Structure 1
Amino acid sequence: MRKDSRLSRMLHVLLHMDGRDKPLSSDVIAGMLTINPGIVRRTMGDLRIAGLVSAAKGHGGGWMLARSLGEINLLTVYLALGEPTIFALGPTIDSASCGLEIAANASLQNGLSQAADTFRTHLASVTLADLIVGASGVEEIRTV
């Protein structure tokens, strides 16, 4: 199963947007992430709907932060991206009437739900500003 790296990638982009005096175009972001600009536009559109970024149209247009880094926690970004699947694990339904499979699936689902809750709690406790504070080479980060 392929990893879903949208959360990590969008956190990276949002951090680069901080302190800029002009918008970042979809093409620039796509180049930074080595992905298609159409994917960038669609994903940034989700972040715009969530109120995290704004868009400027026309020549010199692009994407800008709509809120400060301290006002954006990681959970908000995760939710804006549609809550990407956290785990590759999951229950089976090969024998839906088998009591043993039902018990195994219930236990697995309980553990996965607890882990997902812990993950969401962690995301809610960290802001983008916290990531900047924890980063080494902050000046290097701002030059892209």
Structure 2
Amino acid sequence: MSTPPPPDPIGRLHAVHAETRRRLQGALGRAAHWPALAAWIDGPARAAHDILEQRLFPALIESMAGSDAVCLKAMTGGLVRDRADLDRRWRQTARPALDGVTVAAVGVDLATWADDYLAWLARADGELLPMAARLLDDAALDALAVDCARLDDGA
């Protein structure tokens, strides 16, 4: 029998973002932390971002009408584009550098990527998650909670 979904999916997404920030900040300059960071970014952090893009963003846009929906599409579209760029840079530069686990290989690329990723998290946490908490109805939050339950499984 599975456990019920978390009662606060927005809080759960915030918690994943907070843990991502903590791990990013803790790993910079500490090679011993890089394998755990890579596993987190490729696992729960990626799963949380997929939930944002596939479930939360469409639900938010659906909850709005008219010009408000257009503004939300622009906001979410910007976050989707920026995440695609972060993912590309992760695969091409940051992740391979972490796999090599040499300080010289990681250097500026990881620090720059981490700064950009932290800025992305701040935008999602500061702009869209609070809006979602106010605008989504119970059905949308319940659907989001089911997806967020995957985060506890190490998705």
Larger Rg: 1
Tell me which protein shows more strand as a share of its residues: 1
TM-score (normalised: structure 2)? 0.35
Tell me which protein shows more helix as a share of its residues: 2
Q: Quick one: higher RCO (CA 8 Å, sep 6+), 1 or 2?
A: 2
TM-score (normalised: structure 1)? 0.37
